[in-house]
Chain A
């Protein structure tokens, strides 16, 4: 292996390790109380290395949020051949909920809400990524479904917010009030009732 390939690999391993440790510390101690030195120690790197990768705590936190949201920006695989509208909407809901529960977006949201009075930029950045940009991605899939005749033509920006709002209310909102919330056992039924609602609004057989 050439020396600079080797160096790049080490560097990206260190970066991943820093992100893992940082996420752990932010979730455990909150944003203000988490210390950069502790994060570096936990990731087994020097603070100099930590600051080489992330110039500030704010930037480090923003990187975690971006990483968590990666699946939210990529719905390229959301539509497969032979899918019904329900299949696709179900997949969208599952991706959405996986970010919230498996990637711990619920807990990260709590961390930034705690800092709204002191570091408002943190929350504004998160809302941009997990709110606005996620809505844009959902909208793109909905537009593609409309183009294929799987949904009636509608204002997809508004539709994405209604759908996202219903899904969040059923699953995310209750999870924000509980420390280690998991998806309920009847998650599938609840997801399908949200999809029923969306199809009643915009499905091919929806009332005009």
Chain B
């Protein structure tokens, strides 16, 4: 291994450790109380190294959310050519569930919302880059399904919000109000019922 690539690996390992430590700190104590020095200590790096990777606490939190959101790219198919509308929507729902639970987005979003009065910029950046960016992908897929004739022409931004709202009612809202909300036992059936409803409203 060359020296440069060795350094890159070390740097990436440190970055991942920082993100893990930061997520734990934010989720345990909230955004305001979490301290950069504690995060550095938990990640076993110097504060200088921490600040080299992330210039501020805001930037660090935003990176955690981006990280959690990035996983959606691995799950979602690039093209929907061989999938019917139901399959496409189901893939979206599955990716969403994975983010909310396995990547702890439910808890991260709760921390962000709780800090709105203290850190409004954090909230607006997470909302734009996390929440709305995910919706853009869904909206693009809905547009493609309309184009293909699987869905009726409709305001796909609202259509995306309607589908998201139905699913979130069962897996996100309860989680915002409970410390350790787990995936409901009838999650699959609930998601299918929401997709049924969506297809009844907007399907052809």
Residues of A near any B CB (own CB < 8 A): 30, 109-110, 112-114, 116-117, 120, 123-124, 126-127, 131, 158, 161-162, 164-170, 173-174, 176-179, 190, 193-194, 197, 200-201, 206-207
Whether B123 contacts A177 by the Cβ 8 Å rule is: yes
Q: Which residues of B contact A167 (CB under 8 A)?
A: 165
Q: Name the one of A173, A179, A193, A197 contacting B116, with C-beta atoms under 8 angstroms.
A: A179
Shortest CB distance A92–B (Å): 16
Shortest CB distance A170–B (Å): 5
B56 within 8 Å of A (CB atoms) = no
Whether A124 contacts B178 by the Cβ 8 Å rule is: yes
Whether B166 contacts A165 by the Cβ 8 Å rule is: yes
Interface size on B, residues (CB 8 A): 39
Q: Name the one of B124, B168, B200 contacting A201, with C-beta atoms under 8 angstroms.
A: B200
- For B27, the closest partner residue in chain A by CB is A117
Q: Lowest 8 A-B CB distances belong to which pairs?
A: A169-B165, A165-B169, A114-B114, A127-B177, A123-B177, A165-B165, A177-B127, A166-B165
Shortest CB distance B63–A (Å): 18
Q: Which residues of A contact B112 (CB under 8 A)?
A: 177
Report the separation of the CA atoms of residues A166 and B165 in the bound assembly, to the nearest whole angstrom. 4
Report the separation of the CA atoms of residues A120 and B161 in the bound assembly, to the nearest whole angstrom. 29
Q: Name the one of B113, B123, B155, B197 contacting A162, with C-beta atoms under 8 angstroms.
A: B197
B193 within 8 Å of A (CB atoms) = yes
- For B114, the closest partner residue in chain A by CB is A114
Q: Given A120-B179, A127-B177, do A178 and B166 touch, yes or no (CB 8 Å)?
A: no
B2 within 8 Å of A (CB atoms) = no
Report the separation of the CA atoms of residues A201 and B168 in the bound assembly, to the nearest whole angstrom. 18
Whether B177 contacts A124 by the Cβ 8 Å rule is: yes
Q: Given A114-B30, A117-B179, A178-B120, do A165 and B113 touch, yes or no (CB 8 Å)?
A: no
B54 within 8 Å of A (CB atoms) = no
- For A117, the closest partner residue in chain B by CB is B179
Report the separation of the CA atoms of residues A207 and B127 in the bound assembly, to the nearest whole angstrom. 36
Q: Which residues of A contact B200 (CB under 8 A)?
A: 200-201, 206-207
Whether A168 contacts B177 by the Cβ 8 Å rule is: no
Whether B170 contacts A169 by the Cβ 8 Å rule is: no
Could you say which of B117, B164, B179 has the most chain A C-beta atoms within 10 Å of its C-beta?
Answer: B117
Beyond A127-B178, A179-B120, A190-B158, 10 additional contacts (C-beta under 8 Å) are A113-B110, A127-B177, A162-B194, A168-B169, A173-B168, A177-B112, A193-B155, A194-B162, A200-B202, A201-B197
